[in-house]
Amino acid sequence: MIGGLGRDHAVPRSGRAAVPGGRRPVPARACSESRRSAGALAVTALALVLAGCAGVPSASAPRVIEPVPKGGLTDEPDVRFQPISPRPGESAVSIVQDFLAASESPERQHGIARQFLTPPAAKSWRDNEGAVVLDSRPSYVEARNGGSDVTIRTRLVGRLDSAGSYTPLSESYSQRFLLDRINGEWRISDPPPGVIVTATGFEQTYRRLNVYFLDQSGSKVVPDPRWYTAPRESLPNALLSALIGGPSSALSGAVRSELAGGVSLTSNVVPDANTVRVHLSGLGTLDQAARRGVSAQIVWTLSQLGAPGVEIFDDNEPLRLRGRETVQHVGDWGAYDPDDLPLSASGYFVRAGVVWTTDGRRATIPTGDLRAVSVGVSRDLRRVAVVSQSNGRDRIYVGPVAGPLRPGPIAESLSPPTWGAAAGEVWTVRNRRQILRVSAKGAASSVSAPDLESYGEVSVMRLSPDGTRVAIIAGIEGAGRLYVGTVSRAGRPTIDRLTPIAPGLTNATDLAWSAADSLIVLTRGGGSDAVLQSVAVDGSVAELLTTSGLPGPPSAVAAASTLPRLTVAESGVWRLRDPQEAWTAVPPNPGQDESAPAYPG
């Protein structure tokens, strides 16, 4: 049964992604530290998580719907379900209910669902204008005027726009349907544009894949999650069309694309056993740097489909780049990886005012007599920022890892420092209200965040690994909520479109970016209870994380895409190397006034 709306049986269709060639997976990371699993929608999981937050779970079952197979998306059967067609004598209410159930089957432009419509409506229904996602079947259905007027009511948990971008919601939903008699049978005459699906139907029908754009410097790819019902053979064209169509509204102004302006797809993307061939026009005016950006965007985007290589053509001629073969692989563009860290990267934390590494060493950071309360290291490991406390006030110090550190602003409070992709600046929140950008020389300037005033005090702020997004926890103590915005750098940096991505999540206390498209969030229940969970950047996936092995509730969190997760429990730092295992203490002396775990970034 799909969302309780119909009587047919559905077999979930897997939407999966992998990167060929034995290289660690890079695209389509939804909620996985190791990048070996991509999440599918679990829009109701967050509500379930919150309902169960009364105690700390010792080993909670993850809500990952679609794990990534090693062989790639093309190895998975593309199983669909066949909804029922209209039956003679159905009531108006049953027609509406069965129409909603059939709407969860996209075959032949929702061909079965159109059978529940009047002939003019079946012809004009715009099913490609996104979707509304309901938490369950309608809890209220009322027929009036003898059946010609049917209204449904329930809860809305998400909305998908026509470009495939998902927005989480938590609000009431009502939809009115008008019906006519056609040859004595009820049919809907005014279906709303787009489709209406339950959360269950959505997770069975849609695939989550990333479309990759570039950061403002053009040096890193930036994931833009989209959701598709297209069959597997249509996905290459769907992804390339989305790429040419440009970023979602949430990322507009924060990213760039080398495929914008004059570049077009001249024929269908052609996949075969060894390559995916992309035929474009309009690349001739681009210089080598721009062509490299085009290649990185296309290869990263299409690599999710499991193809061994990608070959790009410009006006029927192979695209040739210096130092590259015509058949390109994601490994050729590893430098564009937004989550990449140097092999020598480790975690950091503060022990009794001194900065240590998770390698069990005292960090070689020239802090002198500073009493550190938090630390942040740039992603290239060259620069460091330390917040020190003295006489009840905080001050940030910034400089090269080898020193010396320059003093920056002083305040009643400064949030833990966070670096973006660039090593030239570090961000912090002064007095829980003002976002500061501090240069490598210690000079500070404010960052405009027009939406922030209405959200209350900020307790945590973290820049995404690619520097194009920012996640914050804001609100009164005990009611902190998670928000994600984009960083526009057209002139003075500005945080735009700061919106809640997990409306049902309350009392958030800490967060960390586990990848450029997912976060780890720490929330507290009643008393001292706490829960760790992974949340996709578009709010579409929620997954409980184990707390097995911890001596008490977690109080802080740190994450990086290829490194163990870190947390603090009972004044000690703990790490989780494998999501299926238990947390273990970071040596050598756990429990000695340890706090503020952090990874580079």
Please count the CA atoms within 13 angstroms of the CA of 139 that sit on its side-chain side. Answer: 8
Please check whether residues 199 and 222 belong to one and the same domain: no
Do 407 and 395 touch, CB atoms closer than 8 A? Answer: yes
* pLDDT reported for residue 60: 29
CATH of the domain at 449: 2.120.10.30
Q: How far apart are CA 397 and CA 407, in angstroms?
A: 4
For residue 416, whether the previous peptide bond is cis, meaning omega lies within 30 degrees of 0, is no
Spell out, as residue ranges, where the chain has pLDDT lower than 50. 1-77
Same domain for 254 and 183?
Answer: no
Domain end: 306, 336, 366, which one? 336
* Neighbouring residues of 148: CB distance < 8 A, sequence distance ≥ 6: 92, 178, 179, 180
Q: Which DSSP helix (H) or strand (E) runs through 107?
A: helix 107-114
Among residues 296, 310, 416, the alpha carbon closest in space to that of 355 is found at 416
pLDDT attached to residue 337 = 97
Q: 544 - beta bridge partners? A: 533
- 201 and 219 fall within a common domain: no
Asked if residue 228 and residue 108 are part of one domain, the reply reads no
For residue 186, CA distances in Å to 34, 97, 119, 146, 192 come to 52, 12, 12, 11, 17
Q: Output the CA–CA distances (angstroms, integers) from residue 303 to 194, 220, 271, 479, in the order listed.
A: 29, 16, 12, 40
Say if 388 falls within a structural domain: yes
130 dihedral zone (left: phi>0; alpha: psi -120 to 50; beta): left
* Cα–Cα dist 202/191, whole Å: 19
Greatest Cα pair distance, the chain, in angstroms, is 88
* Predicted pLDDT at 78: 54
Which of 152, 185, 205 is where one domain is finished? 205
Paired with 269 in beta bridges are none
Percent composition of the chain: helix, strand, coil (DSSP 3-state, to 5): 15, 35, 50
Q: What is the pLDDT of residue 73?
A: 47
- Would you say residue 277 lies in a domain? yes
Question: What's residue 369's pLDDT?
Answer: 87
Which among 380, 440, 444 has a CA at the least distance from the CA of 411? 444
Q: Contact at 8 Å (CB) between 423 and 377? A: no
Q: Is 550 inside any structural domain?
A: yes
The answer to whether position 90 is within a domain reads yes
The answer to whether the peptide bond before residue 588 is cis (omega within 30 degrees of 0) is yes
* Strand pairing class (530-536; 518-524): antiparallel
Pair 282, 376 in one domain: no
Instruction: Give domain status of residue 14, yes or no.
Output: no
Q: Which pLDDT value is given to residue 2?
A: 25
- 3 state DSSP class of 289: helix
DSSP string covering 468-480:
SEEEEEESSTT--
Same domain for 147 and 288, yes or no, is: no
- Identify whether residues 542 and 564 lie together within a single domain: yes
The number of folded domains in the chain is: 3
Whether 20 is covered by a domain: the verdict is no
Alpha helices by DSSP H, 229-275: 235-245
Domain coverage including residue 237: 208-336
77 near 170, Cβ under 8 Å?
no
- Same domain? For 193 and 278 the reply is no
Decide: helix, strand or coil at residue 205: helix
Does some domain include residue 46?
no
Q: Residue 120: exposed, middle, or buried by beta-carbon count in 10 A (0-12, 13-18, 19+)?
A: exposed
pLDDT of residue 47: 40
43 assigned to some structural domain = no
Q: Which region holds residue 475: left if phi is over 0, alpha if psi is between -120 and 50, else beta?
A: left
Same-domain status, 283 and 417 = no
Tell which of 205, 228, 261 closes a domain: 205
Amino acid at 231: P
pTM equals 0.86
Q: What interhelical angle do 288-302 and 235-245 show, nearest 10? A: 140
* H or E, element range at 301: helix 288-302
Write out the two tokens for 202: 């959505």
Q: What is the DSSP letter of 415?
A: P
Instruction: State whether 105 and 137 are in the same domain.
Output: yes
| Percent of the chain scoring above 70 in pLDDT | 85
- Which amino acid, one-letter code, is at 424? G
Per the CB < 8 A criterion, the answer to whether 583 and 547 are in contact is: yes
User: Which position has the token pair 């976060």?
Assistant: 519
Residues 214, 259, single domain; the answer is yes
Q: Which run of H or E residues covers position 92?
A: helix 92-102
CB 426 within 8 A of CB 441: no
In Å, what is the CA distance from 469 to each residue of 215, 315, 327, 465, 481?
10, 35, 32, 8, 17
Which residue from 336, 354, 334, 358 is spatially nearest to 560, judged by alpha carbons? 358
Give the DSSP H/E element, type plus range, for residue 417: none
- Token pair in block for residue 455: 């959200």
What CATH number corresponds to the domain at position 176?
A: 3.10.450
Q: Which residue has the tokens 């992603």?
A: 379
Count of alpha carbons within 13 Å of 119, Cβ hemisphere only? Answer: 2
> Side chain identity at 60, as an amino acid letter?
S
Residue with tokens 């002064």: 430
Shared domain check, 428 and 365 = yes
Give pLDDT, residue 196.
97
